[in-house]
Structure 1
């Protein structure tokens, strides 16, 4: 089920298939933006973890570069940190992600950008958290969803953001999951009804423009 799929060819193929210019033009005027950095924890991104995502080495440098540029432009980046114990998530997956487990800390490469971190215990980063309140205080209109995993926490949070009235940007190369099939399924669904799917580089061009 797991594969190292996150290649330049895959990224460009997904952009070609699912990016909709007319949807992008609808979102571009709404530039009060925040980035969501979903669950960029060692649990998913360390080779020592059983949940390690094989494309991590391709993915992490791309995202670090994006966060660096977004920070330089003054865009707030809100991180989430996931844990679950003795709940429906633990029942479904057959194990727990304990709050105090060192493997559930953010990957070191992302810590310089993690001024704001909220904790969550399910796929939806809005559920039972202060995320919406933070976004409203910042007068955010548009959220850019990044992180892991594409088809679980990232997709669920993107859908919920749309329902709550936010414009949603879901870069094709901004999230990572276990394989190309999960990744593409999310892009297919979100690009139809919830989000626009450009490249991270296109997002930065937009944020840099007047």
Structure 2
């Protein structure tokens, strides 16, 4: 698991800007969705992964705990699958031609194409029938043309998003930033996402926390979900 280190100056900046350390601690569980980003064999299974992130396997128990809490308190879980299709080679040619060596491009195409072992969700994830699976074709699940996630969330009335998955500083952060700019209340989970180093993980969390939304650990987040669910139930 990553060693999370958020410098005091970051928290001070957040307090000065927002007035509170956690602006979404009062989230409405019934309007909250868990977004699990790219916890697939293509990032987690040695010998299959095209971009192995060993730490991603360590966060699976926390993701399962959060998923259970979200369901119990009235929210929904969305499992996001990084997906390659042939159109990506032209519509996203800059990534494939300029930012990726040919051998790595071939490995990514093989790993992330639908029907391949790498495209499958990690087997230890507790996916339930009531959950939804969304395929995305860019790092962010929300950028135009990447997926229909925004439409699904809007149609079902979700306005608060919990972001978990891998890797923290690429697909998780891209999705989380875009979620905020689409006017979703957004929380990144400090011990529910994984990167290739503590430095990358912490840099991403710090950048997000300073401007885009909240960061919480698993236990705090579950505590907020359960407390707010009890409060709303008592008020009815």
Alignment TM-score > 0.5, same fold? yes
Give the C-alpha shift of residue 164 in structure 1.
0.6
| Equivalent in the alignment of 1:3 | none
Equivalent position SS for 1:144: strand
Q: What SS class does the counterpart of residue 174 from structure 1 fall into?
A: strand
Distance 1:135 1:16, change over 3 A: farther
**What's the CA shift for 1:62?**
2.1
Task: State how far apart, in whole Å, the 2-side matches of 1:147 and 1:154 are.
Answer: 6
The 5 A counterparts of 1:1-210 are: 6-7=1-2, 10-11=3-4, 13-14=5-6, 22-24=20-22, 26-31=23-28, 32-48=31-47, 49-84=49-84, 85=86, 86=89, 87-88=92-93, 89-91=95-97, 92-94=99-101, 95=105, 96=109, 97-110=112-125, 112-113=127-128, 115-127=131-143, 128=145, 129-209=147-227, 210=231
CA distance in 1 between partners of 2:72 and 2:7 (Å): 26
| Partner Cα distance (2:8, 2:41) in 1 | 31
SS state of the match for residue 81, structure 2? strand
**What runs of 5+ residues in structure 2 fail to find an aligned partner?**
232-236
CA contact (8 A) 1:144 1:171 kept: yes
Q: How far apart are the structure 2 equivalents of 1:65 and 1:155?
A: 21
TM-score w.r.t. the length of structure 1 is 0.86
CA contact (8 A) 1:18 1:187 kept: no
Task: Judge conservation of contact 2:56–2:195 (CA < 8 Å) in 1.
Answer: no
1:195–1:81 CA distance, 2 compared to 1 (3 A): same
Aligned counterpart, 2:234: none
Greater shift, 80-89 or 162-171, is seen at: 80-89
TM-score, length basis structure 2: 0.77
Structure 1: tracts of 5 or more residues without a match: 1-5
Structure 1 contact 14–172 (Cα < 8 Å) conserved? no
- CA-based RMSD: 2.2
Task: Check whether the contact 1:81–1:119 (CA below 8 A) recurs between aligned residues.
Answer: yes
Distance 1:130 1:56, change over 3 A: closer
State the alpha-carbon separation in 1 of the partners of residues 41 and 7 from structure 2. 28
CA contact (8 A) 1:15 1:198 kept: no
Greater Rg over alpha carbons, structure: 2
User: Quick one: distance in 1 between partners of 2:167 and 2:151?
Assistant: 24
CA distance in 2, matches of 1:180, 1:65: 22
